[in-house]
A and B are shown apart, each in its own frame.
Chain A
Amino acid sequence: MIVNLASSFLTLAAILFCLGLFGALTKRNAVIVLLSIELMLNAVNLNLIAFSKYGIAPSLTGQLFSLFTITVAAAEAAIGVAILIALFRKRGTSDVTDMNQLKR
């Protein structure tokens, strides 16, 4: 049952993505928001890998692509955390609802 396996991977990925999305949109702590974004990226990675294994035209491209994604996500996380720390030093808070300076 190849298809069923694929759909269970995809379902897991969708659940992960929704969790990440929920976290990104609702959590007030910036670090958790960042984590949630990582969660969404990983859900996408899972999709890529699932399709590269069980898709219509299986190939290594998907897995390679997910490696790239992980790399980029790591870089992104590094930059994101760096910004967060800078912001925390500057403003003494990590609450995203306080980060609405552009509106003011």
Chain B
Amino acid sequence: MDSTFVQYAWLIPVFPLLSFLVLTALGRGFRAAGPIVGIAAAAVSFVLALLVFLERLDGTKDDYTWNDWNWIEAGGFTLSMGFEITNLNALMLVIVTLVSALVNLYSAGYMSGDERKTTFFAYVSLFTFSMLGLVISSNILMLYIFWELVGLCSFLLIGFWYHKPEAKAAAKKAFIVTRIGDVGLLIGILMLFWLMPGHHLDFTMIGNAVAAGDISESAATWIALLIFVGAVGKSGQFPLHVWLPDAMEGPTPISALIHAATMVAAGVYLVARTYPIFMASPAALDTVAYIGAFTAIFAAVIAIAQNDIKRVLAYSTVSQLGYMMLALGLGTELAWAAAIFHLFTHAFFKALLFLGAGSVIHATDEQDVRKLGGLFGSMKITAVTFAIGALALSGLFPLAGFWSKDAILTQALHHGNVILFAVGVIAAFFTALYMTRLYVMVFLGKRNKGRKEAHESPWVMTLPLMILAVLSVAAGFASMPGEPWLAGWLRGVTLTEHADWLVIVLSNAAAIAGIAVGYVLFRKRSETEAGESEPAGLYRVLQNKFYIDELYQAVIAAPYRALGNVLYWFDNYVVSGAVRLVSAVFVGIGRAGVRLQNGQLQTYGLMILFGCILFIVAIAGRRFF
């Protein structure tokens, strides 16, 4: 079969863009149009993405690149724009469009009462468009443009309820923190532009140049690290993870979109896309692996002590992204594929968990897990699907999270890195622990007194939950241990790998242990903790997220603010002062002039007299000089 649909892959981002334009043009009117247009555009994109994906599924197709539009021609340099479809892209397109379509559908229920519903769907469409554009970009500069668009959209959506001060602050924080990463990425791109033969920025060209040794190892290290800084910002890795939990101030469907398919996946995708550069530099790979591993365990531990249902999930996202980075840092094709595999499965169960949490919030108007409880009876669909998502995240056989986490851990072990492997297993234990805590406190136990009976959400919200629950079970079978079909398909080569029973047993044991410990620890507490006493010791440290926010506030934000105040003072009193002085002088002169022009002929005459005297004195005085 010839490549038919691939040629039209550029249409995939066009539909959400059209949806955005139409909805923006409609404005706040036509409130009914928002969901319809948004869902329709996402659904069409999904169908098209699925066709492209199925067409490439047999694994015999070459990468398709259309790169004929020359955007900039300057001297001998040509920057062309276009799109590229590889197997990786095709998979990403399916993930993004599917999650986006489901989130659109879900939002129709979740946002039904919102004043700015049309705007919301317009933003979601723009967000989807940006991410799809990022995925199919053929060169890194184009990717950067969409990368910034993704950042902008997340800013708009996190701050969607801008009347809440926390939402405004969270939006600004997300934007500024990710900007720090973006600067790294931009410098990386500039270095690439500088060093690449012929200044080519296409991904294929970059891969070829690195493979041919045109870029030295030290240069590759710098470029890779700078690109990774961008990924750290977007994907919420350790030093720059602070924005992601705060981003929970946005509407819940947006959290699902950000955490599953669009924003944070962009960072992992970026590293995966520019992987040849990382492969050329062992130092960069190690950095990626260790930062990923640290983030995985760090965020998992914090998640145990969080009391906001969405914040727990946010930290779990940070942790899971750490897993992906860990895998990417191992530097083998199989590990690379394992990271993408985890991205793939994580998209489904994390979207499921967020949408489930949204369903709970929609029904109860409550996000604090201490005040929730006993929802199993009244919200059966949400409770069951949430359980599937939680178990999948915990990595329990045979759900999706197990297969992908197993793939990563197997690679870590086979790579001979016991530390990374151990960190992965321990983080898996904590993952199971905090998910169990969350589940027990929200769905089990007794319903809190004084809380009205919760009702199951409407079908537009439960349908996406059910679809995602099925996918969370099924997605894992794309790649079995010992038979890395997905890896081979993604890389276009045949790879072999043997299954490691040690890993399978250990990861399951960690998950089961986590669940058991969580159940024992928190079953009682969910019933008694209604009147929470001040937590103490380590628990308080965890609850305050290791005081990272406070540290940044004290070390970076406060001096920066002080500097800003000094500069403001300087600007206000010195720069503006000089300007004001000049203007005051001229205003004064003007005032004096106005006084002279008083309409009194006699004053004018007096002035003429003075002038004459001045003249006479001047002429007469000349004699003496």
B593 CB within 8 Å of chain A:
no
Residue contact A96 to B609, C-beta cutoff 8 Å: no
Residues of B within 8 A of A21 (CB): 609
Residue contact A100 to B605, C-beta cutoff 8 Å: no
Tell me which of B599, B605, B609 contacts A103 (CB under 8 A): B599
- B609 → chain A closest CB, angstroms: 7
Question: Main SS of chain B's interface residues?
Answer: helix
Give A102 to B601 CA distance when docked, in angstroms.
10
Give A26 to B598 CA distance when docked, in angstroms.
15
- B559 → chain A closest CB, angstroms: 60
Give A91 to B599 CA distance when docked, in angstroms.
17
Q: Mark A87-104, 1 if CB is under 8 A from B, else 0.
A: 000000000110111111
Residues of A within 8 A of B600 (CB): 96-97, 100
A15 CB within 8 Å of chain B:
no
Residues of A within 8 A of B601 (CB): 96, 99-100
Residues of B within 8 A of A26 (CB): 602
Residues of A within 8 A of B609 (CB): 21, 25
A41 CB within 8 Å of chain B:
no
Residue contact A103 to B602, C-beta cutoff 8 Å: no
Residue contact B598 to A96, C-beta cutoff 8 Å: no
B60 CB within 8 Å of chain A:
no
**How many residue pairs between the two chains, A and B, have CB atoms under 8 Å in the bound complex?**
24
Contact A104 to B602, CB < 8 A, known contacts A21-B609, A25-B609 = no
Which of A26, A97, A104 has the largest count of B CB atoms less than 10 A from its CB? A97
Q: Mark A15-44, 1 if CB is under 8 A from B, else 0.
A: 000000100111000000000000000000
Residues of B within 8 A of A24 (CB): 602, 605
Q: Mark B590-625, 1 if CB is under 8 A from A, else 0.
A: 000000011111100110010000000000000000
Give A46 to B609 CA distance when docked, in angstroms.
21
Size of the A side of the interface (Cβ < 8 Å), in residues, is 12
Residues of A within 8 A of B598 (CB): 100, 103
Residue contact B602 to A100, C-beta cutoff 8 Å: no
Residues of B within 8 A of A97 (CB): 600, 602
Residue contact B599 to A25, C-beta cutoff 8 Å: no
Give A6 to B206 CA distance when docked, in angstroms.
107
Residue contact B606 to A100, C-beta cutoff 8 Å: no
Residue contact B599 to A96, C-beta cutoff 8 Å: no
Chain B residue nearest to A26 (CB atoms) is B602
Give A24 to B599 CA distance when docked, in angstroms.
16
Chain A residue nearest to B604 (CB atoms) is A25
Residues of B within 8 A of A100 (CB): 598-601
Give A88 to B170 CA distance when docked, in angstroms.
78
Residues of A within 8 A of B605 (CB): 24-25
Chain B residue nearest to A99 (CB atoms) is B601
Residue contact B597 to A103, C-beta cutoff 8 Å: yes
Give A103 to B600 CA distance when docked, in angstroms.
9
Chain A residue nearest to B597 (CB atoms) is A103
Q: What are 24 contact pairs spanning A and B, CB under 8 A?
A: A21-B609, A24-B602, A24-B605, A25-B602, A25-B605, A25-B606, A25-B609, A26-B602, A96-B600, A96-B601, A96-B602, A97-B600, A97-B602, A99-B601, A100-B598, A100-B599, A100-B600, A100-B601, A101-B599, A102-B599, A103-B597, A103-B598, A103-B599, A104-B599
Interface of A toward B, CB cutoff 8 Å: 21, 24-26, 96-97, 99-104
Given A96-B600, A100-B599, output 10 extra A-B contacts at Cβ < 8 Å: A24-B605, A25-B602, A25-B605, A96-B601, A96-B602, A97-B600, A99-B601, A100-B601, A103-B597, A103-B598
- Nearest 8 pairs between A and B by C-beta? A103-B599, A100-B599, A25-B602, A25-B605, A25-B606, A100-B600, A97-B600, A96-B602
